[in-house]
Structure 1
Amino acid sequence: MNSESLDGRLLFAIPKKGRLHEKCLSLLAGADIQFRRHHRLDVCVSLNHNIALVFLPASDIPSFVGKGNVDLGITGHDVILEANMQDFVVEEQRLGFGKCSLQVQVPEAGPIKSVDDLAGKRVVTSFEVLAKGYFDKIDARLGLQGEAKTKIEYVGGSVEAACALGLADGIESGDTMRAAGLHAISTVLDTEAVLIRSATIKHPELTTLINLVSRRIAGVIAASKYVVCQYNIARDKLPAAFQITPGRRAPTVSSLEEEGWVAVSSMVEKKMIAKVMDNLVEVGAEDILVFNLDNCRV
């Protein structure tokens, strides 16, 4: 592998480890981006596309994409904001995995009950930029200035220990800290994995391939969220059925051999399918079938 072998290829940054890594590998497989990564190498070329995969720490990906060093990337929405790269990248789509909440948490038995109580005190966090932006607004609203402002201190790990050791009055964390005797008093940000590209087009010749990859990934994500629901129903009951299964755009309706009856096919959110089936029975639908989607284009 050398730099010449990457010339003209779309560079796609993937988290090299952590909670996003395995999900990204499944996403690449669903999008039919085939590759063989040699042991310990962080760059490999696709076997069936003009793409090179670059495996990077998730925290580095927003900067690499924003500065145009790579063309596409997958990382967390919170990581983009923490890196101050939101003006330099475009979020192509949210991916539905890697979801978590960045929360302000304090000792359950302590006197602090709200973020206003915490303002002006010490907060430790691994998300220094986000925490400062959040508490700067609270400080401004409460009129806290200078030494009276909230003190934000960076801790790379084990933030839950800071309160117990007396190092901080509160923490900002994306993890559940109930076992450490903490509870959330505010949510700073809800986040998940996102597909991003540079806000400035550096390689216009790769736009078609970027769009292809983005569509394929959108199809994989949609297939994971939806099922196809098919059922038979009397034509005069279609309006009620359409209220239950409106589909992404509209249901597909086909006439049956039996006069006055139709077959309906519609995409339904997987998490809602049990309730949808119950409601269809109530309006007169019969022969209700559900099919999982392996892939799709939406």
Structure 2
Amino acid sequence: MPVALIFLPAADIPTFVGEGKCDLGITGLDQVMEANMFDSVLDLLDLQFGKCKLQVQVPEEGEYNEPAQLIGKKIVTSFTKLAADYFEDLEKTCGASTGNTTIKYVGGSVEASVALGVGDAIVDLVESGETMKAAGLKAISTVLTTSAHLISSKQPRFPELVETIFSRFQGIMAANSYVLCNYNAPRSIVPDVLKITPGRRSATISSLEKQPGDTEEWVAISSMVEKSRIGHVMDELKKAGASDVLVFDINNCRV
């Protein structure tokens, strides 16, 4: 596939994609919102990795326990737009003058800002929380929950290629989220078992050769099932009268 890969800081990717310099990009949802580029990019897919929270953090042993207590204080962050929007909404909710809270930009080591006296609180990304705890901070509010997203330009130079790559990402995401469940069942219970395994669109049903001693017709059913539910689904199929329940991983697919 004739694709050039360009490695850029996450904060720059929304601008490069939004201005049409790159057709596709992978960056955090927080970066797209901070760059205010949703008018210029399409949010194609949540890639479900790099999950974290943009949170308001204060000294663990300090006087602040509610975000409203920070109105009129100094807030240090790398996300000045998101922090400013959050505190402007908070000021309106509390009936305070808007713009009364000072938002100060720091590019790195934001968690050290409170201890060094640069600000009263910070707004920063939290993944495991270990860095926050090490800095003696605690979270009192969540501004945004974010993860890595696939974005595209609204006017890509190679739209067919964008669609192909997007489809491949969708296939991998679906393959990671689903398994293929195959089982046999008497035709009389098909309506019941299809309620358990309806599939993404519908299940595949094939007739089985009737064996000596069978009193009714049997069918083989194949259906995509969410991986997180498969244990419960197998139990329910067994209770409903299905047999030979098999589960297979999906390496890739197109949905």
Q: Show the 5 A alignment for 1:138-177.
A: 138-145=90-97, 149-175=100-126, 176=129, 177=132
Counterpart CA distance in 2 for 1:120 and 1:285 is: 65
SS in 2 for 1:216: helix
Which residues in structure 2 correspond to 1:207-226 (within 5 Å)? Answer: 207-226=159-178
Distance 2:241 2:173 in 1: 32
Note the residue ranges of structure 1 that are not aligned, 5 or more in a row: 1-48
**Counterpart selection for 2:89 from 132, 137, 152:** 137
Spell out the pairing of 1:252-271 with structure 2 (5 A cutoff): 252-258=204-210, 259-271=216-228
**Aligned mates of 2:198, 2:134 — CA distance in 1:** 44
Aligned to 1:87: 39
Q: Name the CA distance, whole Å, in 2 between partners of 1:166 and 1:188.
A: 23
Distance 1:284 1:111 in 2: 61
Larger Rg: 2
Q: Deviations over 1:148-189 (max 9, x none)?
A: x22211222222222333433322121222333332222111
Letter of the 1:189 partner, please give it: L
Deviations 1:182-236 (A, max 9, x none): 322221111111111112x253xx2222211111111111111111111122223
- Flag as ranges the 4+ runs of structure 1 deviating above 6 A: none
Q: Secondary structure at the match of 2:241?
A: coil
- Kept in 1, the 8 Å contact 2:183–2:242? The answer is yes
Distance 2:187 2:59 in 1: 60
Instruction: Say which of 142, 151, 158 aligns to 1:196.
Output: 151
CA spacing shift, 1:146–1:129, aligned 2, 3 Å: closer
Which residue in the other structure is 2:251 paired with?
A: 294
SS of 2:114's equivalent in the other structure is: helix
Q: Secondary structure at the match of 1:278?
A: helix
Q: How far is the alpha carbon of 1:57 from its aligned partner? A: 1.6
For residues 64-83 of structure 1, the aligned pairs below 5 Å read: 64-83=16-35
Query: Cα offset for 1:117?
Result: 2.1
SS of alignment partner, residue 281 of structure 1: helix
- TM-score, length-normalised on structure 1? 0.76
- The letter of the residue matching 2:18 is G
**8 A Cα contact 1:94 1:193, kept in partner:** yes
1:114 CA displacement = 1.9
Q: Which one of 166, 174, 183 corresponds to residue 138 of structure 2? A: 183
Letter in 1 for 2:203: P
- Residue segments in structure 2 that go unaligned for 5+ positions in a row: 211-215
What are the superposed Cα offsets for residues 89-140 of structure 1, whole Å, 9 maximum, x if unpaired?
Answer: 1112221212211111223333322212222222211211111111111112
Q: Is the 8 A contact 1:82 1:128 kept in 2?
A: yes
Counterpart secondary structure, 1:52: coil
Amino acid at match of 2:141: S
How many equivalent residue pairs? 246
Residues 14-33 of structure 1 mapped to structure 2, 5 A cutoff: none
The alignment status of 1:276 with 2:233, answered yes or no, reads yes
Change (3 A) 1:232 1:159: same
Aligned pair in 2 of structure 1 residues 182, 235: CA closer, same or farther (>3 Å)?
A: farther
CA contact (8 A) 1:114 1:185 kept: yes
Q: Secondary structure at the match of 2:140?
A: strand
Q: Residue 282 of structure 1: CA displacement?
A: 2.4
Q: Call closer, same or farther: CA 1:80–1:253 in 2, change over 3 Å.
A: same
Give identity over the alignment, percent: 53
Given that 2:88 and 2:98 are in contact with CA atoms closer than 8 Å, whether structure 1 keeps it comes out as no
How far 1:146 moved relative to its partner?
6.4
Kindly provide the CA deviation profile for residues 226-283 of structure 1, in whole angstroms up to 9, marking residues without a partner as x: 1111112222323332232221111112222243322221111222222222222222
One-letter amino acid of the structure 1 residue matched with residue 241 of structure 2: G
* Alignment check: 8 A CA contact 1:120 1:139 kept: no
Alpha-carbon spacing, 1:110–1:241, altered in 2? closer, same or farther (3 Å): farther
